[in-house]
Amino acid sequence: MNESLLLALMLSGVLLLILLGGCAILRSGSLSRRGSSGGSVSENGFTGVITIEDGTYPAPDAGSESLNEMTEEKEEPVEEDPGEDLSYGDPVYCTIWPIQDLTVYNDPGLTEKTGSVKGGQTLCVLSEENGSFKVCYDGDFNTGYVDERFCMINLSEYLKDLCSYSITNSYDSVFRIHEYDIPEVTGTVIPGFEETALDPASGSFVVPYLYPCANRLLKAAEKTREDGYVLNIYESFRPHKATRYLYDTVELLLNEPLPDAEEEERTMSQAEVDAINQQKLEESLAQAQVFLMAQGIDPASEQALPIVQFYLDNTEKITAQTYTHVRTYQEEMTNGTHKLSAFLAKQVSAHNRGIALDLTLRSMETGEDLEMQSEIHDLSYHSVSAANNDNAKLLESYMKAEGFNGLTSEWWHFQDDITRNEIKLATYLEEGVSLEGFKADDNGFKYQNPDGSFVTGEEKTIDGKKYSFDAYGYCKIP
């Protein structure tokens, strides 16, 4: 090879290196990760800001995706089936809601008070330290720590696809009295669940559940998967307004005849006759006492005895007789052995406290719920645990092995009384909860709408303050 050719090849190589270096510089851009107002980004949560060209963004954590990648031009992603997400059990960036008003502290040891949050307020976990959640608790992006034991966590974010979710009360309630629909309940959205369904077709729901209970559930869910089943959750937290609505609506229905009930002739039993006659005698005795008091006669005096006897002797009694009977919703529900309160709480339910679940087993092979002795949310004696079939007994074994207690009237209901007693939980929430609020990830804060989407490319006034969001949804500090 002559010298002139060798020199040309060497110059070409140098030029190529220069061009590649320039491309790398262009790709890196002018973005930088720095605390422009004196802050910094730590692995444990938000302590500063990120400056990105024309704006300043709150930064909760250093992430795997660089800010360069976040802001550079991206091609429209090709939608693929993501499959199951089993990277569960990490609360960081999960949505949480306090089950009661909580104090916010400056330290994870919860010793130095700095603020407060309301029960049901939407928060996002920035880190977990020593039994506390670090959260951003106000619109100025101030952070502090709350007691994680009193926070409900969104199971669909925390456990992800370890469980499946079918929160039917949020779009098509399946509460029935055995084979009969409940007017104004069956097929409706139950009050308090309006912002729970995100995409029912794909099993996407808001599923709040108290954090210590969620960790107990995690163990049960892992065991069921080992055996080829998935826990399919139909209900977790139920707002108290929903409890009152369900009880009051069903109570009004109980004495109504079933829609397909036929009249039938019945003969009273002697016990029924005796009960009716006893009631008539008590009514006569009450009338006698009213008369005696009006006459100024002491009901306990001898003078009163013949008057009282007169009323009792003239009480019209009945004998065994036939009558027309039509079967009611109450009979279909209780069969004479249970009360409405066995199926629906009249006052406060364990669901209202975030410690109860209604769930069943789903086969991983078929994708279908296992057959139980009744449908889930069948409010009738057909659902009692004494009638459990083998599948219901299997579900019970998984849940009780992790410390959950069941109800004798509902094969699907399990609650964590251990946690309730340990933390002395006495509170509940009246209203439902929502995803709406600031949501963190490795690159900053976004604002999530109730339907799970994010505000993008606009200004939005939130609680009286104006915020600006870029095309990717990240919030700039005003």
Does some domain include residue 116?
no
pLDDT at 73: 40
If asked whether residues 353 and 243 sit together in one domain, one would say yes
Per-residue pLDDT of the chain (478 residues; tens, 9 = 90+): 444 443 443 444 433 333 334 433 333 333 232 233 333 333 333 444 433 334 444 555 433 333 333 334 434 444 445 567 768 999 999 999 999 999 999 999 999 999 999 999 999 999 999 999 999 999 899 999 999 999 999 999 999 999 999 999 999 999 999 999 999 999 999 999 999 999 999 999 999 999 999 999 999 999 999 999 999 999 999 999 999 999 999 999 999 999 988 877 778 888 888 888 999 999 999 999 999 999 999 989 999 999 999 999 999 988 877 777 789 999 999 988 889 999 999 999 999 999 999 999 999 999 999 999 999 999 999 999 999 999 999 999 999 999 999 999 999 999 999 999 999 999 999 999 999 999 999 999 999 999 999 999 999 999 999 999 999 999 986 5
Report the alpha-carbon distance of residue 63 to residue 443 in Å, rounded: 6
Q: Looking at 373, 400, 423, which one is the last position of a domain?
A: 423
If asked whether residues 353 and 408 sit together in one domain, one would say yes
Would you say the C-alpha torsion 270, 272, 277, 279 has a positive or negative sign?
Answer: positive
If asked whether residues 301 and 364 sit together in one domain, one would say no
If asked whether residues 174 and 309 sit together in one domain, one would say no
Report the alpha-carbon distance of residue 382 to residue 402 in Å, rounded: 26
Domain at 188, CATH number: 3.30.1380.10
Of 94, 224, 93, the C-alpha closest to 162 is: 224
Q: Looking at 394, 423, 452, which one is the last position of a domain?
A: 423
pLDDT at 266: 73
pLDDT at 183: 97
Helices H, strands E: what count in the chain? 10, 27
Does some domain include residue 337?
no
pLDDT at 264: 79
Report the alpha-carbon distance of residue 308 to residue 314 in Å, rounded: 10
Does some domain include residue 188?
yes
pLDDT at 4: 46
If asked whether residues 239 and 359 sit together in one domain, one would say yes
Query: Three-state SS for 180?
Result: strand
If asked whether residues 273 and 418 sit together in one domain, one would say no
Hey, what long-range contacts does 197-201 have (CB within 8 A, 24 or more apart)?
Answer: 197/167, 197/170, 197/171, 198/435, 198/451, 198/452, 199/452, 200/170, 200/171, 200/172
If asked whether residues 316 and 168 sit together in one domain, one would say no
If asked whether residues 173 and 311 sit together in one domain, one would say no
Does some domain include residue 172?
yes
Query: Three-state SS for 315?
Result: coil
Q: Please name every residue paired with 144 in a beta bridge, in sequence order, or none if there are none.
A: 135
Q: Quick count: other Cβ atoms within 10 Å of Cβ 171?
A: 19
pLDDT at 75: 44
Structure tokens at 363: 């086969």
Residue with tokens 């004696």: 381
pLDDT at 17: 38
First to last CA, the chain: 65
Does some domain include residue 313?
yes
If asked whether residues 375 and 416 sit together in one domain, one would say yes
Q: Looking at 325, 340, 366, which one is the last position of a domain?
A: 325
Report the alpha-carbon distance of residue 371 to residue 373 in Å, rounded: 7
Backbone angles phi, psi at 104, to 5 degrees: -100, 135
Continuous segment of H or E residues that includes residue 173: none
Residue with tokens 């003239």: 314
- Structural domain span for residue 406: 163-247+349-423
Would you say the C-alpha torsion 126, 129, 131, 137 has a positive or negative sign?
Answer: negative
Of 25, 24, 33, the C-alpha closest to 51 is: 33
In one-letter notation, the amino acid at residue 27 is: R
Packing angle, helices 390-401 and 211-226, rounded to 10: 130
**Number of domains, the chain:** 2
If asked whether residues 175 and 200 sit together in one domain, one would say yes
Does some domain include residue 213?
yes
If asked whether residues 241 and 171 sit together in one domain, one would say yes
Does some domain include residue 228?
yes
If asked whether residues 243 and 169 sit together in one domain, one would say yes
Report the alpha-carbon distance of residue 146 to residue 160 in Å, rounded: 23
Does some domain include residue 394?
yes
